[in-house]
Amino acid sequence: MISRRLYSTTGSAGRLASVIKNVDLLKTKSYINGAWVASSTNKKFDVNDPALYPKPDSKLASVSSMTLQDFERAIDHARVAFDEFKQTSGRYRSNLLLQLYELMIENKNDLATLITLENGKPYADALGEVNYAASFFQWFAEEAPRISGDIIPSADASKRIFALKQPIGVCGILTPWNFPLAMITRKLGAAIAAGCTTVIKPASETPLSALSLGYLVEKAGFPKGVVNILATDDTAAIGKLLCESPIIKKVSFTGSTKVGKLLMNQSSSTLKKLSFELGGNAPFIVFEDADIEKAVAGAVTSKFRSSGQTCICANRIFVHESIYDEFATKFVNKVKKDSLLGYGLNKGVTHGPLIHDRSMQKVVSHIEDAVSKGASILCGGSKRPDLGTNFHELTILGDVTPDMLIFQEETFGPVAPLIKFSSDQEVIKLANDTEVGLAGYFYSTNVSKVFKVAEELEVGMLGVNTGAISEAALPFGGVQESGFGREGSKFGVDDYMVIKGIVLGDIV
């Protein structure tokens, strides 16, 4: 069931203004060098509410689509701004980030509503994202004054060696649609703390949240040119430009492994520094000694958050054969009991739509492939056209095997495959049978097993007896074809710095 919508869906501009208290957050132009500017060609693209699309009232706004020339201008401004910004103190940059953090918290309800409208995730999830996104500004505000180098003893008593950390330069930031604020702030906070300037290209599906952040940057008093946010629907060409530009010294990208490889190839001509957070195929293992109730709760949290559209959500759920039936029954019951599919701003809704038809096609194809090869549907399994074109039931599949597509590929949707295993060695081998390694999860009350399995799983992050791992303190990133570099944590600034070695001689 769906409860009554909380607002009228008549007219895109009026609809946005009717639910956003601070209308200054609503921007359709891009933010370049401290000014709001339209595309040099006046081209625009539509931003739609995925819960209502393709109905006429799904349109939220028409946003300026910035061109290659517009981005080149932003890059030039960022280069000029860097000459001064790199000279600022860590304390100065800390104060800017703290101001930005406070502004995000002050406007968190509006920002969450905006995320729900253009992304589709339920309001409670969107509000959680805003708080999570803001926490990176708070975290890196605390890191900025503490960036320091080192003094290294020399083998020559008449010399001293200094290791000096300096900001790398202008940084290009490319972000996805599934966390339209958090994927920016996790990168931007570190870049600002280091003393870098930035050119940011958000996803074309969700530019409104990013542009609202530009307003808060302006409000916080950032110097012109330090933060530039440009929306465009010419994604491939702009990505190529940022990677090939000799002015851009570092690119940070969150997205698919396929696109990451393309960007890495394009960056080779300038040998710029890269940090990539790419695709995942996260294992979620429930050992025979696990607390089943907690494992079920963790699986629901990990797998179905944002309707399975997160890079670290459980993609393959391995359950020991001795507890498989009990786990499957409790998992199905909890999903049925605690979930309500519907419009994200409606009261009580826990899960929203998929972002677009391509996501729906992948979800459907994974279910059909699995069923054709012997999997059983334990829960859900169908589209929900009564709710909207992009809605699909939360689905649980039983008896999934490694020959099925859902085992081999990241679904990025609300489908949980259950896979039986009989031994630790078997499940570790199955879990590692993938070319990507972003996140993983397992449940066990055996301390020895916790250390052993944690060391053997080939992933960059692990949740042990928890299905929720994301926070600013976590070094976020993967291994293998899930990318490289770490975001957040005390290590997050490192990718935006270079180390200069200085040898001081003639000390007597």
Distance of CA 247 to the CA centre of its chain: 26
d(CA 483, CA 477): 7
Q: Is 36 exposed, middle or buried (0-12, 13-18, 19+ CB in 10 A)?
A: middle
In terms of Cα–Cα distance, which of 254, 311, 249, 316 is closest to 283?
A: 316
Could you please report the per-residue DSSP string of 415-454? EEEEEEE--HHHHHHHHT-SSEESEEEEE-S-HHHHHHHH
Please pick, among 129, 143, 205, 277, the residue that the annotation labels catalytic.
277
Q: How many CA atoms lie within 13 A of 215 on its CB side?
A: 19
d(CA 37, CA 228): 11
Q: What are the distances in angstroms from CA 416 to CA 42, 337, 484?
A: 44, 16, 27
Contact 414, 304 (CB under 8 A): yes
d(CA 491, CA 471): 14
DSSP code, position 23: G
d(CA 181, CA 173): 12
Q: What are the distances in angstroms from CA 185 to CA 62, 75, 145, 279?
A: 24, 19, 18, 20
Contact 392, 355 (CB under 8 A): no
Q: Which tokens is 105 given?
A: 């918290």
Phi, psi at 383, each rounded to 5°: -70, 165
368 catalytic per annotation: no
Q: What are the distances in angstroms from CA 12 to CA 199, 464, 488?
A: 28, 44, 36
Q: List residues with catalytic annotation.
A: 277
